[in-house]
Amino acid sequence: MSRTVTLATLRRMKAEQAPIVALTAYDYSFARQVDAAGVDVVLVGDSLGMVMQGHASTVPVTLADMVYHTRCVARGLERAYLMVDLPFLSDTDDRAALESAARLMKEGGADMVKVEAHAAQAPVVEALSRAGVPVCAHFGLRPQRVGQLGGYRVQGRDEAGAQQVLDDARALEAAGADVLLVECLSAAVAARVREQTHRPLIGIGAGVDCDGQILVLQDMLGITPGQPPRFSHDFLADTGRIQTALEAYVEAVRTRQFPQLQHTFE
């Protein structure tokens, strides 16, 4: 199905400094509502392992899970661009990444795949790009690697950490990433990433100076069990209706009223 928002749309929005609104969705019904609210990019994230399946992390999510949920979401979208995560260990080398991406795009209907990566994994991004697969490179905090990172920690808190993030961003862009997504990063460092790269930069917990923002749907509706992440906001509590909450989120990102200082790491 041909959707209204394309990769060219996202590039134009960056050039025009028009904030990109992104949000996760995992099923048909919410996909319809998110699409109707005017969200530009819908992500079928492997976060579904936590918010839909009840796991403690994203690690148990399989490629078959991702294909299934992508297919459900794709049926609900008419406007938004559909981005989908490559789940844990589905992109360990070029061949695995290509085979996984092929399933997500051919069977699921994805427009773009998202890879959690750093500079050393740039060859995987390059292989996908060379094969004609639109790629979003996710760096900074990478949830699939929280075991190695020592937990959900803010990245770029010192100059060495900031330089590593900048090096990752430049390497992933040079490898052919079409979109960059950075998570849990000092707002000042995120602003430097935006200044030093040319691809649309979407942030989650990375301050207001990114080209766009993304949240997990359940977080911004305030229905995720346990303590909500600092970088999110409960838009449903403000509005009382799901559709109105989605529209409020879209408007807040468009006008750069979200994220605010309390959602930001310095």
Q: Catalytic residue positions?
A: 183
User: Is 116 annotated as a binding-site member?
Assistant: yes
What residue has token string 């697969």? Answer: 133
User: Is 46 annotated as a binding-site member?
Assistant: yes
Q: For residue 73, which of 48, 96, 99, 93 has the smallest C-alpha distance?
A: 48
Q: How many CB atoms lie within 10 A of CB 252?
A: 20
User: Is 47 annotated as a binding-site member?
Assistant: yes
Question: Could you tell me the sign of the dihedral formed by the alpha carbons of 172, 173, 175, 178, in that order?
Answer: positive
Spell out the alpha helix ranges (H) of 181-234: 187-196, 217-220
User: Is 211 annotated as a binding-site member?
Assistant: no
Q: What residues contact residue 41 under an 8 Å CB cut-off, 6+ apart?
A: 5, 10, 20, 21, 22, 23, 80, 81, 82, 83, 202, 212, 214
32: exposed, middle or buried (C-beta count within 10 Å: 0-12, 13-18, 19+)? middle
For residues 82 and 42, give the distance between their C-alpha atoms in angstroms, rounded to a whole number: 5
Report whether the peptide linkage leading into residue 200 is cis, meaning its omega lies within 30 degrees of zero: no
Distance (Å) of CA 88 to CA 66, 79, 111, 143, 220: 11, 28, 20, 10, 25
Looking only at the bridges linking them, the beta strands covering 81-85 and 201-204 are unpaired
Q: What residues contact residue 132 under an 8 Å CB cut-off, 6+ apart?
A: none
> Binding site residues, as ranges?
46-47, 85, 114, 116
> Binding site residues for Mg(2+), as ranges?
46, 85, 116
